[in-house]
Structure 1
Amino acid sequence: MVFTEQQEALVKESWEIMKQNIPELSLQFFTTILEIAPAAKGLFSFLKDTDEVPQNNPKLKAHAVKVFKMTCEAAVQLREKGAVDLPESTLKYLGAVHVKKGVIDPHFEVVKEALLRTIKDGVGEKWSEELCGAWSEAYDQLATAIKTEMKEEAEQINSSSSA
């Protein structure tokens, strides 16, 4: 998977637009995840036992901003670093949390769809097939990095439970 100079430029330009509206776009991102896959609510401890509208949940707001920013910032630096550049501790943590929560490959597709819809709304008339492709590639590389950590985490769990 190669992230081209053109894709990098598109992602950076769109991120600059979206930065102006991170709280709103972050909530839209998570609300879209829950619209696509209502059962995903059970994966988030702060949403499990509530019928509250997600927009009114302060823990969701904080989590949404953190996830949306991390995803976008990982995409922005992809070409410069040549790979997803998150601190190893962050990737390990993400791998462990996703394994513990029972996240599986189809969940990543739901998040990708929600991310692309959110970006489309966030950039308005700047949206294009090229921009969609650039963000898709960036997200896929981030998802692959998290899945790699998930696999390592699962192997560690399996080897320690069989010891």
Structure 2
Amino acid sequence: MNPSKHFWPEHAINSMPYKLLSLCPNQHGERERLEREMALTEKEEALVKESWQIMKQNIPEYSLRFFTIILEIAPAAKNMFSFLRDSVEVPQNNPKLKAHALIVFKMTCESAIQLREKGQVVVGETTIKYLGAVHVKNGVIDPHFEVVKQALLRTVEEAVGEKWSEEMKCAWGSAYDQLAAAIKAEMKQEPAA
């Protein structure tokens, strides 16, 4: 049985503490935002870059915090990772967790930075096709992306402290949505796991 198949019971998905379509009520709606050209505005880019400069000062700490928040929001998510399945707690000193968290956090943030410059999602050494295949293999579904988004936003907020604003939240939300949309598009091309 795929351990991620029952990531959350249906009632948990329906009672999530955030609205999927109203992250940035003053901007375009979710559908319109995803349909627009894949790039950030100058202001969004500046906000993302400013906060990324702060986070880059301690990537190991923020990447581990990012993953810890994912597991706080959705404890059953640890079953999706072979290096966490048998642990009762989230082991902060687990080298595999640290390495994976660092890769995922850095890739997510760096792809956000490049959106305006490249006009598309760029993920460095990894391809979107590969990410789509891995996510299908592991049984990732749409609500999982929302948990990651919330964890990313909370991590950025904690990292930047008083610099955090609704505009910065929207900039990171938009950047993440575009990365998630690219991965989901590739997932649809992959055969089901």
Same fold by TM (over 0.5)? yes
2:77 maps to amino acid: A
1:24 aligned to 2:92?
no
* 1:26-105 → structure 2 map (5 Å cutoff): 26-86=63-123, 90-105=127-142
Aligned to 2:160: 123
Aligned to 1:140: 177
Alignment coverage as a number of residue pairs = 156
Residue 53 of structure 1 aligns to a residue whose secondary structure is: coil
Name the one with the larger helix percent. Answer: 1
Change over 3 Å in CA distance of 1:147–1:64 after alignment to 2: same
Q: Does the 8 A contact of 2:110 with 2:123 survive in 1? A: no
Unpaired segments ≥5 residues, structure 2 = 1-35
Change over 3 Å in CA distance of 1:88–1:149 after alignment to 2: farther
1:10 maps to amino acid: L
2:51 to 5, 9, 14: 14
Q: Does the 8 A contact of 1:77 with 1:85 survive in 2? A: yes
1:3 aligned to 2:40?
yes
Residue 85 of structure 2 aligns to a residue whose secondary structure is: coil
Unpaired segments ≥5 residues, structure 1 = 159-163
Distance 1:55 1:36 in 2: 17
Q: Does the 8 A contact of 1:31 with 1:54 survive in 2? A: no
Shift of 1:87: 5.4
| TM-score, structure 1 normalization | 0.91
Distance 2:161 2:186 in 1: 34
